[in-house]
C-alpha cells in the first residue's frame, strides 16, 4: 500500500491530530523516536495504531511527518 499523501492532505491531518488524540504532533514524534526500532513504514504505522490506539490515518500522518523530518535532518 502506498503511503504517499498530498501535501495538503498531510497538513490537514496533522492539524486535526491534537484535537482527535489529545496530544500535540511533537509529542507523537517523540513517541515514535523513543519507540521500537522499526524500519518499514507500515510497521511503524501498525505499532502506533495498536500500541496507542490511533486511527490509521492519524498514525500514517505521524509516521509520514516523522520520516520527512528525519530526512531533513540528514540533509543538514
- What is the Cα–Cα distance from 53 to 22, expressed in whole angstroms? 12
pLDDT over 50 at 1, yes or no? no
Closest CA to 21 of 57, 45, 54: 54
pLDDT tens across 8-52, in order? 999 999 999 999 999 999 999 999 999 999 999 999 999 999 999
* pTM, 2 dp: 0.88
Amino acid at each position: 500500500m502506498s503511503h504517499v499523501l498530498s501535501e495538503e492532505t498531510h497538513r490537514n491531518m496533522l492539524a486535526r491530530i491534537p484535537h482527535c488524540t489529545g496530544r500535540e504532533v511533537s509529542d507523537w514524534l517523540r513517541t515514535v523516536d523513543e519507540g521500537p526500532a522499526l524500519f518499514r513504514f507500515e510497521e511503524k504505522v501498525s505499532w502506533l495504531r495498536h500500541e496507542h490506539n490511533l486511527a490509521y490515518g492519524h498514525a500514517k500522518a505521524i509516521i509520514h511527518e516523522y520520516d520527512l523530518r528525519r530526512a531533513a535532518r540528514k540533509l543538514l
